[in-house]
Structure 1
Amino acid sequence: MLDGGEPGTVRPGGRTARVREAVLRAAEDALTEQGFTGLDLADIARRAGVGKTTVYRRWGTVTGLVTDLLEDMAEQSAPRTETGSLLGDLTANARLVQRTLTDPRQGPLFKALIAAATGDAKTAAALHRFYDIRVREWAPCVRQAVDRGEAPEGTDAHEVVRAVSAPLYYHLLISGGRLDEATADRAAEVAVTAARAGVYVRGGGKLRRV
Structure 2
Amino acid sequence: MTTRPGGRSARVRDAVLAATYAELADHGYPALTVDAVATRAGVHKTTVYRRWGGVDDLLADALDQTRETPWPVPDTGTVEGDLVAVTVEIASAFGDAGVPTAVVAASFQSPRAALALQAFYAARQEEAAKVVVRAVDRGELPGGVDPVEVVRLACAPLYYRVFITREPVDAVVAERAAHAAIAAARAGVV
Q: TM-score, normalised by structure 2?
A: 0.94
Other-structure match for 1:114: 104
Number of equivalenced pairs: 186
Give CA deviations for 1:137-162 in whole Å, capped at 9, x if unaligned. Answer: 11111011111111111210011111
Gaps of 5+ in 1: 1-11, 201-210
Give CA deviations for 1:4-30 in whole Å, capped at 9, x if unaligned. Answer: xxxxxxxx7100000001101111110
Determine whether 1:102 maps to 2:95.
yes
Other-structure match for 2:139: 149
Is the CA contact 2:73–2:130 (under 8 Å) kept in the aligned structure 1? Answer: no
Larger CA deviation: 73-82 vs 135-144: 73-82
Other-structure match for 1:83: 76
Structure 1 Cα separation of the partners of residues 164 and 41 of structure 2: 33
Other-structure match for 1:48: 41
Change (3 A) 1:77 1:176: farther
Match of 1:162 among 143, 152, 171: 152
SS in 2 for 1:83: coil
Match of 1:125 among 115, 125, 137: 115
Change (3 A) 1:111 1:178: closer
Other-structure match for 1:198: 188
Identity value in percent: 46
Larger CA deviation: 173-182 vs 12-21: 173-182
Structure 2 Cα separation of the partners of residues 174 and 72 of structure 1: 26
Is the CA contact 2:141–2:185 (under 8 Å) kept in the aligned structure 1? Answer: yes
Q: TM-score, normalised by structure 1?
A: 0.86
SS in 1 for 2:109: coil
Deviation at 1:77, TM superposition (A): 5.2
Determine whether 1:184 maps to 2:174.
yes
Other-structure match for 1:18: 11
Determine whether 1:70 maps to 2:60.
no
Give CA deviations for 1:108-136 in whole Å, capped at 9, x if unaligned. Answer: 10101100111222111100000011011
What amino acid sits opposite 2:13 in the alignment?
Answer: R
SS in 1 for 2:63: helix
What amino acid sits opposite 1:65 in the alignment?
Answer: L
Larger CA deviation: 149-158 vs 91-100: 149-158
Larger relative helix fraction: 2
What amino acid sits opposite 2:86 in the alignment?
Answer: N
What amino acid sits opposite 1:188 in the alignment?
Answer: A
Gaps of 5+ in 2: none
What amino acid sits opposite 1:35 in the alignment?
Answer: G
Give CA deviations for 1:56-93 in whole Å, capped at 9, x if unaligned. Answer: 01000111000000011112253111111111100000
Structure 2 Cα separation of the partners of residues 131 and 178 of structure 1: 21
Match of 2:26 among 33, 45, 58: 33
SS in 2 for 1:132: helix
Structure 2 Cα separation of the partners of residues 180 and 168 of structure 1: 9
